[in-house]
Amino acid sequence: MALDEGKDVKGGHDAREYDHQGPFRHVGTRPDRPDGVDKVTGRAHFGADAYAPGMLHAAILRSPHAHARILKIDTSRAEALEGVKAVVTRADFAEGLEGEDWNILENIMAGEKALYDGHAVAAVAATSKFIARDALALIEVEYEILPHVTDVDEAMQPGAPVIREGAAEPGLPEGMHPNVVRYHESGHGDVEAGFAEADLVIQRHFATEATHQGYIEPHACLAQMGPDGRGDLWCTTQGHWNVQKLCASLLGVEASAIRVTASEIGGGFGGKTTVFIEPVAMALARKSGRPVKLVMSREEVFRASGPTSSASMDVRIGMKKDGTMTAAEGTFRLQGGAFPYAPMEFTAMCAFACYDLKHVRQRGFDVMTNRPKQAAYRAPGSPMAAFAVESVVDELCQKLGLDPIEVRLKNAAREGTRASYGPTYPRIGLVETLEAARAHPHYSAPLGPNQGRGIACGFWFNYGGETSVTLALSMDGTVQIAVGTPDIGGSRASMALMAAEELGIPYEDIRVTIADTASLGFNEISHGSRVTYASGLAVIKAARDAKRKLIARAADKWGIDPEAVEWRDGAAWPAGDNAGSFEPLTIREICAEMGATGGPIAGHYEATPEGAGVSFATHIVDAELDPETGKVTILRYTVVQDAGKAVHPSYVEGQFQGGAAQGIGWALNEEYIYGEDGRLQNPGFLDYRIPVASDLPMIDTVIVEVPNPGHPYGVRGVGETSICPPLAAVANAVSNAAGVRLRQLPMRPARILEALEAQTDGEG
Amino acid sequence: MSMVHVSARVNGDPVEFLCDSRETLLDVLRDRLALTGAKEGCGTGDCGACSVIFNGRLVASCLVLGAEAEGAEIETIEGMADGEKLHPLQQKIIAHAALQCGICTPGILIAAKALLAKNPDPDEETIRYWLAGNLCRCTGYDKIIRAIQDAAAEMREEA
Amino acid sequence: MAKVKVHLWSALRAHADGAETVEVEARTIGQMLDALRARYPGLAPALDAGVSVSIDGRIIAASLTEPVAPEQEIWLMQRLKGG
Amino acid sequence: MQYLKPASFEEAVAMAGEAHGDVRFLAGGTDLLVRMRMGAVPDVLIDLKHIPGVYDIERTENGGWRIGVAVPGAELTEHAGLRADWPGVVEAVGLIGSTQVQGRATPVGNLANASPAADSVPALIAAGAEVEVLGPGGRRRVAVGDIPAGPGRTRLAQGEVISALYLPPRAAHGGDAYQRFIPRTEMDIAVVGCAVSLSRDGNVITEARVALGAMAPTALMVEEAASALVGTTLGEEALEALSEAASAAGRPIDDKRGTAKFRRHVAGVLARRVALVAYERAGDAK
């Protein structure tokens, strides 16, 4: 029995986990991260850094067509090439899969049709990279090219090419094109009645293009599988248990047959929450009987991993002259590539989540197109919603002559507000972020010519999920923690801080390891801003479990009740005078004797914490427009976000800054560009333009701490919310600088010039 | 296959290897010399994760052939620390939390070292433009710039 | 067993005779979802695809054993995930 | 792929003559290696970097400059003499790629790669630069503008190799400048590039050359733009005429980096801005 108090393990009847308001000794400090030296010396091993004796190199053949029936694949010439050890096609994977497992299999290796430019159709393992590459050229694929569609609105039109018949879920509105596969509707009140109360109602159309997570490390793995059907997989992933589950399903073996070890991960942002190449490498390893290394090129990452959805949106908001929002409604159409599950329900649910609205309605459509299967990207679905909604709010403020922060404060959701997606909010921190933004010097700083300021709010849910942690004590009293969530952004440091806090020992005495799938219970993926929340909660609970055991040893030794022993400063102390007079027993002393006093000591946590609090942010940005070229420069940026409790403030700031930077890229320059032929035009960092160092200013941060009741220290997830406001904030700033609203992303220079021109023409 | 024999110096040590004429210096460092600190983020010179110093110049090792390394002096991230003593840039990158995932970090460090060798007191704009070829997707660059400035200040004091 | 009142998101209501809320007997989320399936088989595909549940504003992403009680505000939500 | 290291340009030409299949010369390699990565691996690669003199920057007898084919951008931009004489050429070369690319990329490679958007080419054309070409038929001097034939194609004959780049002596009271438009601040290919080189007599422009990049299949000289400048003191009227001539030039295309319409507009904007810088520099020059 890991924990003796059942209600402590899960939410239980009382979900109020928040029990430590400080003061803290470790939490809130900024020590060096435990893996810092590994990361600055090149010693850290990422996905592509693994090698094995006898290793083969693999390469994947990909469809050059956006939509084509695969009539024939002849691999015989490739197989005959010297050095080629295995060739696989769809026939080498499991049959009879259903649901999302089938979708994922279909995505990683095409079946009857190639569904997008870059779709995998076969793979080769050979004794060198060059032979593998040469072998691809020898595989003959006969395609029947089909009409394609890559645009979300076009894909919904009558007559659009059908990606897959029968993919739609039941319950869709009548008359939908078969490419529309899911539908969401939610809200409350009577929006028409609400609009009737408004002094001004604005309805606008918005569009955003698909972007890519843009992690710098391409997908990479090293697979081994013996004739006994047992295998090992090393890969870069946000969630190795999920990789294990999916590989087992796609290969038709049991989960326990595959041990997955997560490498250091070179960025994910949601894009490494699923599989792309791992089952292919495993299939090649199984067929060849040799270790197989498979690394995506950057071009493959863009063409065939999971970018985000593009969106077409209509938003309508009513406001009174005093700034009161009376009603809001929105329609959000997202394409998620050639498969279902574009995150349109999150777009819909997040859209108006910042506001206290009596009348609100949102609809979402999930649309299939000939593009790669979308994957999660940092608060999936939410940033585009904020772009549309916060743009309309800004325009209403402008037209009514109202201050954008005051208006947002007036309408802000707070504890007790009925959320636009249904439930009533518990304690949340939106108002606090708005107040901090209003008080920030940035908000009142003067602006120059051709400069504009934008503000916007954003919302994301956050997530708990299955979590297992083991905290093992060494004979010398130092601590080894095994967690199951890959460290993407410094989470080892926050885990060690929380354990140090609980155990009262030095931060340096704690080593945090990311365990493989065979060494720890199941862990949900590092996504949904859950790591510091869920693994953190698990570390705290595991430390408390260990502490109880340490206390019991001291109590035994002293011959008193464990209740009469308390733990502080890394030692057991008699609790009060009645407990007796004993010298404190340090963790070091107890551990030195643990073998002889009852055996090894470890703390555990295995449960699904369900108290991830929602999170809000407010961003301020100043932009300068070159009116002659349409080029935008970001001059100043401030992120204000509720972190609940910042465990390692530097890494919290880092999440704020990183989300803002990605959002700026999405707003200004990043986009998937498809040609008439349905092929991706810009599959590289040259023309897929993520922000470079010289594109950005310093990014100021303000950490607001409104504790989350669902975590012992009040921690909220912080990783995702930071990308929600920037699209809107930058668009508002540019619109204010340009004097014309920009409603389509990215705001590339030519698009801004066209908007300026249209405005001049309109006036003339 | 046409293998090329190459002798060079990496981090001061003599090395010898045979490589395929098509292999890049990055391939050679990683696959033949087991120096995996330089990373391949793009293979086309757009991301800087494979940065090394080649005959005194900062280069993308994915844009140099292994065969071109004959007689070359190459510095990689593995040679940056002096034994157990980290270079000030390495210390400051850790101290400022100027990394999240760490995949771009070796390239950033090598590029920053090359910058400080040329300009011991670079201003923010100089650092930003110098590092424009080193993509970082996690940090928004803010803490990286601060760490480099801090390291530069410390190195100026020590000098 | 006590009755709990469950709020449905709009798109679900078509499968529940248009009702915005449905009362079912349940002590846990799992029992609640089973009761909904039994009463309105049309809801099953959506529930099987995965739902999260909000209890008094606290979002339960996955747990079926989480207790529910009559005085609580309970909402079905589409299954959460993140990036 | 066969990798060869000639010790002289004559040997390089001989090697190319004897080789079969696709033969490429390697200087900085920053374009060639990208193409190889995309699968375009030549059969024979002739590395020019072991030929004596290829890393040299020298004054010529007439007061101009001779630049070796392997001199990378970083070396050029650090060269005080070159910077003083041809600041526009140097700033154009300095814009090619990242700091890392600058460590390898050469202006001659930039030219031989024959991208219409190459940054250094308009500046070299405006400066009146020439290259020395060696081939089976002997040695010849060719104006930089006559090398590119179209995207990825040059007018070099089979077996010919560029053996040096020559910049003329800077004219008295002359100045040059180059700017490009890109969506980001760095790391992009020019949507439009513009170079202006001019000489002044007092405030009056006596000579001018204007070249544009990414407005046609090759970088091009725009005579109308140059004549809009000559004889003027670069007043508003001259700038307007220059801008119009630049916008009207070439035959730009719509592609992922910009529309033809946008390119025409930006060419006009850049021409103005660049002319003002060159004019200023010429005024400061002796």
- Which segments of chain A belong to CATH 3.30.365.10? 6-24+464-607, 310-462+613-763
Q: Where are the alpha helices (DSSP H) in C1-83?
A: 10-13, 29-39, 44-48
pLDDT in tens, A117-136: 999 999 999 999 999 999 99
Chains contacting chain D through 3 or more C-beta pairs under 8 A? A, B
* Structural domain count, chain C: 1
Tell me, yes or no, whether B30 and B67 share the same domain: yes
- Are the Cβ atoms of A687 and D184 closer than 8 angstroms? no
pLDDT digits (tens, 9 = 90+) for A181-237: 999 999 999 999 999 999 999 999 999 999 999 999 999 999 999 888 899 999 999
Q: How far apart (Å, rounded) are the C-alpha atoms in residues A165 and A178?
A: 6
In CATH, which superfamily holds the domain spanning A47-146+219-295? Aldehyde oxidase/xanthine dehydrogenase, a/b hammerhead (3.90.1170.50)
CA A28/CA A652 separation, integer angstroms: 10
Among A174, A531, A610, A662, the residue to mutate for chain C (most C Cβ within 10 A): A610
Among B22, B48, B131, select the one facing D36 at the smallest CB separation. Answer: B22
- Report yes or no on C15 lying in a domain: yes
- The answer for A613, left when phi > 0, alpha when psi is -120 to 50, beta otherwise, is beta
- Closest Cα of chain B to A692: distance in Å? 5
Task: Write the residue in D181, D188, D258 that is nearest to A689 by C-beta.
Answer: D188
Residue B66's CATH number: 3.10.20.30
Question: What's the confidence (pLDDT) of residue B1?
Answer: 53
Q: From the list B24, B46, B111, which residue is nearest D99 (CB)?
A: B111
State pLDDT tens for residues D146-196: 999 999 999 999 899 999 999 999 999 999 999 999 999 999 999 999 999
The answer to whether position C58 is within a domain reads: yes
| Distance from C-alpha of A451 to C-alpha of A648, rounded to nearest angstrom | 35
pLDDT digits (tens, 9 = 90+) for D82-139: 999 999 999 999 999 999 999 999 999 999 999 999 999 999 999 999 999 999 999 9
- How far is the C-alpha of D282 from the C-alpha of D175, rounded, in Å? 4
Judge whether A748 is closer than 8 Å to chain D, CB to CB: yes
Amino acid residing at C10: S
Concatenated DSSP letters of A35-55: THHHHHHT-S-BGGG---TT-
Q: Do chains C and A touch (3 or more CB pairs under 8 A)?
A: yes
Contacts of B67 in chain D (CB under 8 A): 3, 47
The answer to whether A343 faces chain C, any CB pair under 8 Å, is yes
**Given pLDDT bands bounded at 50, 70 and 90, which one contains residue A15?**
low
Give a yes or no: residue C33 inside a domain: yes
Distance of CA D185 to the CA centre of its chain: 20
Q: Which domain holds residue B37?
A: 3-79
Task: Say yes or no: B26 contacts chain A, CB-CB below 8 A.
Answer: no
Averaged pLDDT for residues D203-220? 97
* Closest residue in chain D to residue A130, using alpha carbons only: D39
Rounded CA-CA distance D190/D96 in Å is 9
Both tokens of B25, joined, read 């210096």
- Residues of chain D with Cβ-Cβ distance to A629 below 8 Å are 181, 266, 269
- Provide the shortest C-alpha distance from residue C33 to chain A (in Å): 17
Portions of chain A given CATH number 3.90.1170.50: 47-146+219-295
Under a CB-based contact definition with an 8 Å cutoff, are residues D143 and D220 in contact?
A: no
In a domain, C83, yes or no: no
Among B56, B79, B102, where does a domain finish? Answer: B79
8 Å CB contact of B136 and A693: yes
Among C79, B88, B65, CA closest to A381: C79
pLDDT tens string D8-66 = 999 999 999 999 999 999 999 999 999 999 999 999 999 999 999 999 999 999 999 99
Q: A708 vs chain C: nearest CA distance in angstroms?
A: 10
Are A511 and A479 within 8 A, CB to CB?
Answer: yes
Domain containing residue C12: CATH number: 3.10.20.30
Domain containing D204 — which CATH number? 3.30.390.50
Are B154 and B97 in the same domain?
A: yes
Structural fold of domain A6-24+464-607: Aldehyde Oxidoreductase; domain 4 (3.30.365)
Mean pLDDT on D235-253: 97
Q: Which residues of A touch B101 (CB under 8 A)?
A: 215-217, 264-268, 488-489
Residue B44 has its nearest CB partner, among D29, D37, D74, at: D37
Question: Which tokens sit at B75?
Answer: 């510095």
A185 Cβ under 8 Å from any chain C Cβ: yes
SS3 C31: helix
Q: What is the percentage of chain A residues whose pLDDT exceeds 90?
A: 93
Per-residue model confidence (pLDDT) at position A8: 38
Q: What's the whole-number average pLDDT of chain C?
A: 89
Which residues from D are below 8 Å from A299, CB to CB? Answer: 38
H-type alpha helices, chain D? 9-18, 32-37, 73-77, 80-85, 87-94, 99-102, 107-112, 120-127, 223-229, 236-248, 260-284
Please count the residue pairs, one from chain A and one from chain C, whose beta carbons lie less than 8 angstroms apart.
Answer: 124
* Beta-ladder partners of A185: A363
Residue in A10, A269, A612 closest to C83 by CB: A269
Considering CB atoms only, which of B46, B59, B67 is closest to D104? B59
3-state secondary structure B33-91: CCCCCCCCCCCCCCCCCCEEEECCEEEEHHHCEHHHHCCCEEECHHHCCECCECCHHHH
A with B: how many residue pairs have Cβ under 8 Å apart? Answer: 188
Q: How far is A660 from chain B (nearest CA, A)?
A: 7
**Nearest CA distance, B59 vs chain D (angstrom):** 4
Which residues in chain B show pLDDT less than 50? none
Are B9 and B56 in a shared domain? yes
Q: pLDDT digit string (tens) for C31-81?
A: 999 999 999 999 998 898 888 899 988 888 888 999 999 999 999 988 877
Number of domains forming the structure of chain B: 2
Chain A CB within 8 Å of residue B18 CB: no
| Reported confidence tier of residue A2, pLDDT bands at 50, 70, 90 | very low
Determine the Cα–Cα distance for residues A466 and A528; give it in Å rounded to an integer: 12
Chain D neighbors of A672, CB-CB under 8 A: none
- Residue with structure tokens 């076009």? A154
d(CA A742, CA A745): 8
Find out whether A273 and A375 touch, Cβ atoms under 8 Å.
yes
Q: Is A134 on the interface with D (CB under 8 A)?
A: no
Q: Is residue D251 part of a domain?
A: yes
Tell whether B5 lies on the interface with D, counting CB pairs under 8 A. Answer: no
Q: Is a pLDDT exceeding 50 seen at residue A484?
A: yes
Domain that residue D213 falls in: 174-284
Please report which confidence band the pLDDT of residue A529 belongs to, taking 50, 70 and 90 as the band edges: confident
Whether B131 and chain A come into contact, CB under 8 Å, resolves to: yes
Instruction: Please give the full DSSP string across A365-416, using - where no structure is assigned.
Output: EEE--SSPPP---SSTTHHHHHHHHHHHHHHHHHHHT--HHHHHHHHB--TT
Tell me how far apart the alpha carbons of residues A633 and A651 are, in angstroms, rounded to a whole number: 26
The verdict on D262 touching A (C-beta cutoff 8 Å) is yes
Chain A: partners with 3+ C-beta pairs within 8 Å: B, C, D
A648–B97 CB contact, under 8 Å? yes
Any chain A CB within 8 A of the CB of B117?
no
Residue in D34, D37, D103 closest to B57 by CB: D103
DSSP letter string over A454-479? EEEEEEE------EEEEEEEPTTS-E
Structure-token pair, residue D119 = 């940054």
- Does A299 have pLDDT greater than 90? yes
Residue with structure tokens 């089952």? A279
pLDDT digits (tens, 9 = 90+) for A238-293: 999 999 999 999 999 999 999 999 999 999 999 999 999 999 999 999 999 999 99
Look at residue D183 and tell me if it is in a domain.
yes
Identity at A694, one-letter amino acid code: S
**What pLDDT is stored for residue A269 in this prediction?**
97
Domain check: are B68 and B108 in the same one?
Answer: no
Q: Which chains touch B (3 or more CB pairs under 8 A)?
A: A, D
Of A134, A145, A143, A136, nearest to A75 by C-alpha is A136
Q: How far apart (Å, rounded) are the C-alpha atoms in residues A294 and A235?
A: 10
Final residue belonging to a domain, choices B79, B97, B131: B79
First to last CA, chain D: 51
Q: Could you give the number of structural domains in chain D?
A: 1
High-pLDDT (> 70) share of chain C, %: 100
Give A72→chain B minimum CA distance, Å.
Answer: 31
Cβ-defined contact of A681 to D256 (cutoff 8 Å) = yes
Q: Which residues of A75-219 form beta strands (DSSP E)?
A: 84-88, 113-114, 120-126, 140-145, 180-188, 200-208
Is the ipTM here above 0.90?
yes
Q: Give Cβ neighbours of residue C63 (< 8 Å, ≥ 6 apart).
A: A10, A11, A608, A610, C29
Does D277 map to a domain? yes
State the pLDDT at residue A624: 98
Q: In chain B, what residues touch A636 (CB-CB under 8 Å)?
A: none
Distance from CA of A133 to the nearest CA of D (A): 9
Taking domain A310-462+613-763, whether its CATH number is 3.30.365.10 is answered by yes
Residue A408 burial (CB count, 10 A): 28
Q: CB-CB: which of D29, D72, D186 is closest to B65?
A: D29
Distance (Å) of CA A40 to CA A46, A174, A755, B79, B120: 13, 58, 46, 11, 21
Question: pLDDT tier at A762 (50, 70, 90 boundaries)?
Answer: low
Question: Position A54: which residue type?
Answer: G
Q: What range defines the domain where residue C58 resides?
A: 3-78
Claim: this prediction has a pTM higher than 0.95 = yes
